[in-house]
């Protein structure tokens, strides 16, 4: 069952968001950019949580929609100067949603591991589209013009100095909006039906729900949100490459979800920050970050089964109640 | 005309190689219900064993048994040490475990042997062109790989259809509870299947080394193509993997030779068509 943070949890998340927003007051540009990366990856992992944690679909092709969202900026660049963010963001959402709808319509005809293999294969297909065809602008990636903040000819020009701060606050705002939107979605009939599919798809179908279309709706929405994350990545970095669509990024997003906690909507956000933080620390110690990443995953899948959001401080329990043991056996 | 014949033979040979990899993948999945993303890395390890052994001794002939024995040992070790704990875990855990193995195998390869491309020479005996029909001749090594793969495929069919352990494996794939009820040792079956699947992938890597050369992350592309094979071929059957692998091998080779603009995409279009038409695969047992 997926939990949404309660009153205390929401308060803690809000405080954490304020702390991130206060970073520009004292942190160097390097850490602002690092935090921006974590925020964008948190959006990406959060969009995947709609599939994994909410609907119970494990996809290995999600990075493809992230990449399509990022490449939307490059594709719009073909029409001339830097587009307004008010144009590029909807375009990224639309393209990613279309790609996700097409992939999902086919992949959802399969179940379980075959769904996983199919999403991985179609993700690889989209990778080839941007890697090998003229559409993508080269196998090594391409610089893109950052979408501008302009509306009806009025433009707010951001100086190079202010840019890390502006991007950090913008990314934070988008992430907060995405989280709030998903928390609200889970209260709707659609959200509850998705949770029901995760619990028991057969039961939902016999109750008269059309689970195929519900799942396709979730897959398309998750793809669109991944497109938002990809767009924010492209806008933050001003560079896109086919590597954004590579399947190891999908696996890393799954890692963030497991790291943060599969059973909580905010889990992927914690997981993304833990992932980026660990990666930065590992990068300062050793050249072999992938070795560290592999070992961390082993520790998490072997030991930390409920993620960071599942860690409970034993000191806070008043009585050695037998209840937790029964809960462990139940899920 | 001889160009087309050569491409067809290339496709069949490539398809048979894919069969060696995907049969292990589908057997392990069918019997234990585990998806092994690191299966492509095992292929990579087999290719590097061929590079090291053939480089050290000058003979690819020693590399092939080394890859098979190494595969049996590594497979048994992985099954006993790690995978056995994951048969009843969620998909997500299995995916991440095997993703971690990919990272560790690739880093291990990078630490031991570096990140360069290497070519592996074809054995001198087979480094000739065999005259076929008319003025058309074909690489003897490719023919040898084709025949060897066919032989292994035949041996696998016999082992699974005719031997005691084969019937136990079939039973385990169809009704795991029955295996326990009959008093068969399910743990031994799991060990055998995993070790053999690993050895097949590593043998495929060693056979492929002279044709594809060896390079970092070479397993990724093969892994994904083998997923396409399994989806197209059908759920959990060796016959499905065989025909699916041949089909994908031929389609991929021909499309790369004659439709350069669609090079990598043809097999995915084929997969999409199969999913629309028969989502359980072309050769699935009904």
Q: How many residues does chain A have?
A: 331
A96 within domain boundaries: yes
Bridge partner residues of B214 (DSSP) = B118
Please indicate, yes or no, if residue A102 is contained in any of the structural domains: yes
To test the contact with chain B by mutation, choose from A102, A106, A120, A121 the residue with the greatest count of B C-beta atoms within 10 A, namely A121
d(CA A41, CA A121) in angstroms, rounded, equals 22
**CB contact (8 A) between residue B265 and residue A125:** yes
- In a domain, residue A161? The reply is yes
Instruction: Report how many Cβ contacts below 8 Å link chain A to chain B.
Output: 110
pLDDT given for residue B6 in this prediction: 86
Give the model's confidence band at B276: pLDDT under 50 very low, under 70 low, under 90 confident, else very high: confident
What pLDDT, in 10s, does the model give residues B138-157? 888 999 999 999 999 999 98
Question: What's A112's domain CATH number?
Answer: 1.10.3470
Tell if the CB–CB gap between A113 and B271 is shorter than 8 Å. Answer: no
Total domain count, chain A: 1
Residue A316 counted as domain residue: no
Interface of A with B (CB under 8 A): 52, 58, 60, 106-107, 109-110, 112-114, 116-118, 120-122, 124-125, 128-129, 132-133, 247-248, 251, 254-255, 257-258, 262, 288, 290-291, 293-295, 297-298, 300-302, 305
In this complex, do A257 and B92 lie within 8 Å of one another by their Cβ atoms?
Answer: yes
Query: What does the pLDDT average to over A152-180?
Result: 87
Please tell me which of the candidates B106, B107, B279 has its beta carbon nearest to residue A109.
B279
Closest-CA distance, A103 to chain B, in angstroms, reads: 9
Residue A321 resides in a domain: no
Other CB atoms within a 10 A radius of the CB of residue A16 amount to: 14
Inter-chain contact A254–B96, Cβ cutoff 8 Å?
Answer: yes
B262 touches chain A (CB under 8 A): no
pLDDT digits (tens, 9 = 90+) for A199-227: 888 999 999 899 999 999 999 999 999 99
Nearest CA in chain A to B264: A128
pLDDT tens digits, one per residue of B17-37: 999 999 999 888 888 888 899
pLDDT digits (tens, 9 = 90+) for A116-126: 889 998 998 99
Please report residues of A whose CB lies closer than 8 A to that of B227. 117-118, 120-121
Full domain range(s) for residue A219: 7-310
Report strand pairing: A142-143 vs A149-151. Answer: unpaired
Let me know if residue A317 belongs to a domain: no
Contacts of B103 in chain A (CB under 8 A): 290-291, 293-294, 297
Q: CB-CB: which of B29, B97, B220 is closest to A113?
A: B29
- Which has more confidence, B55 or B199? B199
A255/B99 touch (CB, cutoff 8 Å), yes or no: yes
Preferred mutation among A52, A55, A59, A113 to probe B, highest tally of B CBs within 10 A: A113
Mean pLDDT of B47-71: 91
> Residue A106 and residue B275: Cβ atoms within 8 Å?
yes
Please write the tens of the pLDDT for every residue from A20-44: 888 888 888 899 999 999 999 999 9
Average pLDDT, stretch B173-200?
86
Minimum Cα–Cα distance from A295: chain B residue? B100
Instruction: Enter the tokens of residue B53.
Output: 């052994």
Question: For A278-318, what is each residue's pLDDT tens digit?
Answer: 889 888 888 888 898 899 888 888 877 666 766 665 544 44
Q: What residues have CB less than 8 Å from A278, skipping those under 6 apart?
A: A292, A293, A296
Is residue A187 one of the residues assigned to a domain?
yes
Q: Is the pLDDT of residue A244 over 80?
A: yes
Q: Among the listed ranges A71-85, B8-22, B214-228, B237-251, which one has the minimum average pLDDT value?
A: A71-85
**Residues in B touching A106 (Cβ below 8 Å):** 272, 275-276
Q: Which residue has the higher pLDDT, B183 or A193?
A: A193
**Residue A142: band (very low, low, confident or very high) from pLDDT cuts 50, 70, 90:** confident
Beta carbons within 8 Å of A196's beta carbon, 6+ residues apart: A203, A204, A209
B49–A contact, CB cutoff 8 A: no
């Amino acid at each position: 069952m997926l939990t949404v943070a309660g009153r205390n949890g929401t308060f803690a998340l809000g405080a954490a968001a304020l702390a991130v927003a206060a970073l520009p007051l004292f942190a160097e540009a390097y850490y602002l950019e690092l935090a921006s990366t974590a925020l964008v990856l948190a959006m990406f992992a959060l969009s995947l949580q709609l599939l994994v944690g909410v609907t119970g679909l494990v996809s290995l092709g999600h990075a493809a929609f992230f990449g399509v969202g990022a490449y939307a900026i490059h594709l719009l660049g073909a029409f001339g100067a830097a587009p307004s963010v008010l144009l590029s963001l909807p375009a990224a959402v639309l393209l990613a949603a279309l790609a996700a709808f097409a992939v999902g319509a086919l992949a959802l005809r399969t179940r379980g591991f075959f769904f996983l293999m199919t999403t991985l294969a179609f993700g690889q297909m989209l990778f080839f589209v941007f890697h090998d065809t003229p559409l993508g602008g080269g196998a090594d990636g391409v610089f893109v013009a950052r979408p501008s903040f302009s509306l009806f000819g009025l433009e707010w020009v951001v100086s190079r100095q202010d840019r890390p701060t502006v991007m950090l606050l913008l990314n934070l705002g988008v992430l907060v909006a995405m989280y709030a939107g998903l928390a609200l979605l889970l209260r709707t009939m659609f959200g509850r039906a998705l949770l029901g599919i995760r619990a028991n798809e057969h039961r939902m179908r016999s109750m008269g729900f059309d689970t195929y279309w519900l799942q396709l709706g979730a897959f398309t929405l998750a793809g669109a949100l991944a497109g938002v994350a990809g767009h924010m990545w492209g806008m933050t970095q001003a560079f896109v490459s086919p590597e954004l669509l590579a399947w190891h990024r999908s696996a890393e997003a799954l890692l963030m979800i497991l790291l943060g906690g599969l059973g909580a909507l905010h889990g992927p956000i914690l997981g993304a920050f833990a992932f980026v933080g660990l990666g930065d620390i590992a990068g300062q110690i050793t050249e072999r970050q992938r070795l560290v990443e592999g070992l961390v995953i082993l520790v998490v899948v072997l030991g930390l089964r409920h993620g960071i959001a599942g860690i409970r401080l034993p000191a806070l329990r008043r009585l050695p109640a037998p209840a937790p043991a029964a809960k462990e056996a139940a899920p | 005309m001889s160009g087309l014949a050569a491409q067809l033979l290339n496709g069949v040979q490539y398809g048979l190689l894919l069969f060696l990899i995907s049969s292990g993948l589908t057997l392990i999945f069918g019997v234990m219900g585990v998806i092994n993303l690191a299966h492509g890395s095992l292929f990579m390890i087999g290719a590097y064993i061929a590079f090291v052994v053939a480089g050290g001794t000058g003979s690819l002939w020693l590399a092939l048994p080394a890859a098979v024995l190494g595969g049996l040992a590594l497979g048994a070790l992985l099954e006993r040490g790690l995978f056995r704990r994951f048969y009843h875990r969620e998909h997500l855990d299995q995916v991440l475990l095997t993703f971690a193995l990919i990272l560790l195998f690739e880093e291990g390869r990078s630490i031991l042997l570096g990140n360069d491309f290497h070519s592996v020479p074809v054995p001198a005996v087979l480094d000739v062109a065999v005259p076929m029909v008319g003025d058309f001749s074909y690489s003897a090594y490719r023919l040898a790989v084709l025949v060897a793969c066919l032989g292994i495929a035949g041996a696998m069919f016999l082992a699974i259809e005719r031997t005691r352990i084969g019937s136990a494996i079939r039973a385990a794939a169809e009704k795991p509870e029955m295996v326990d009820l009959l008093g068969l040792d399910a743990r031994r079956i799991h060990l055998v299947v995993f070790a053999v699947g690993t050895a097949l992938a590593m043998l495929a890597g060693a056979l492929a080394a002279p044709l594809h050369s060896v390079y970092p992350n070479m397993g990724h592309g093969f892994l994904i193509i083998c997923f396409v094979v399994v989806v197209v071929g059908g759920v959990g059957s060796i016959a499905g993997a065989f025909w699916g692998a041949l089909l994908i091998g031929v389609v991929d080779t021909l499309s790369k030779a004659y439709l350069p603009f669609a090079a990598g995409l043809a097999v995915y279009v084929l997969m999409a068509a199969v999913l629309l038409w028969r989502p359980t695969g072309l050769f699935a047992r009904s």
